Structures are given as C-alpha cells and as structure tokens.
C-alpha cells in the first residue's frame, strides 16, 4: 500500500515547511558553491534543491506508473489530489505565488498526465486474448 503514496507530496511538504518556518526568502539561500575549471562559480540554492527533489520524485513516479497493480489507480488519484493542492495553494496563498512553486506545480501536473498515460498504455499491452 506504500506504493500508492504519491512521491510529489515530499516537495510539497518541504516547500511549505520552509515557507512557514523561514519564509520564501530562504529558498534563495546558497547551500554550496563549486568552483569550475572555467573559472566560473556554480552555486546551488535551496530552491534548486527543491526542484531537484521534485524531478527525482517524478522519475520514480513514472517508474511506478508502469506497474499494473490495484494500488497504481490509488496512486493516480492521490497524485491528482496533490496537483489540486498545488493549484489551490498557488492561487490562494501569497507566499506560494513564486516561480519555484509554479515549477513544482507543473512537475506535479506532468506526474498526473504521465501516470495516466503510461498506465493506459501499459494496461493495453497487458490484455491477453484467449486464442
């Protein structure tokens, strides 16, 4: 049943915890800097880390969408609820009206669409004809 839990809930909770705790400005805080061979300095912010975690969650959600189990339908429904939570918060909460949160919401939308599409394609291949 743990497979039915949508992983996009992790970036959603992470964003809200940081937003409520430290404020939106905390997302621009530098986590690390790496000097490159070209002489440039690459920096990673907390917002970049949130996007990275969302992309990793999206990857595993796409992998879970290839399974044809009963819990996969529950996963798709819960993923839709997570996307709706993203959308409602984006529209109603002032601190969520940021480019970072919008990007997370788009990733959640891609999770929903990809999950339904991949499951539909995989289910079509699982149909066996009794000849």
- Is 31 within the bounds of a domain? no
- What domain range includes position 50? 45-122
- Is 26 within the bounds of a domain? no
Contacts for 39 with CB less than 8 Å, ≥ 6 apart = none
Tell me if 24 sits within 8 A of 98, measured CB to CB.
yes
Q: Does the global pTM surpass 0.85?
A: no
Per the structure, the count of domains in the chain is 1
- Is 12 within the bounds of a domain? no
* pLDDT for 75: 82
- Is 118 within the bounds of a domain? yes
- Is 113 within the bounds of a domain? yes
Cα separation, 32 vs 11, whole angstroms: 20
Among 77, 81, 78, 86, which residue's Cα sits nearest to residue 107?
A: 86
* pLDDT for 23: 85
- Is 90 within the bounds of a domain? yes
* pLDDT for 125: 58
Among 61, 42, 39, 45, which residue's Cα sits nearest to residue 108?
A: 61
- Is 58 within the bounds of a domain? yes
- Is 100 within the bounds of a domain? yes
* pLDDT for 72: 76
Mean pLDDT by 10 residues, the chain (131 residues): 82 92 88 93 94 94 80 84 95 93 96 85 59 50
Strand extents, DSSP E, the chain: 30-35, 41-45
* pLDDT for 82: 94
């Amino acid at each position: 049943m743990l497979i039915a839990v949508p992983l996009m809930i992790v970036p959603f909770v992470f964003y809200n915890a940081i937003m409520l705790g430290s404020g939106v400005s905390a997302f621009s805080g530098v986590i690390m800097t790496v000097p490159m061979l070209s002489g440039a300095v690459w920096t990673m912010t907390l917002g970049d880390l949130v996007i990275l975690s969302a992309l990793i969650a999206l990857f595993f959600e796409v992998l879970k969408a290839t399974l044809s189990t009963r819990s996969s339908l529950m996963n798709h429904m819960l993923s839709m609820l997570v996307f709706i939570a993203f959308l409602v918060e984006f529209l109603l909460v002032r601190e969520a009206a940021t480019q970072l949160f919008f990007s997370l919401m788009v990733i959640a939308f891609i999770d929903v669409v990809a999950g339904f599409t991949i499951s539909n394609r995989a289910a079509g291949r699982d149909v066996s004809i009794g000849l």
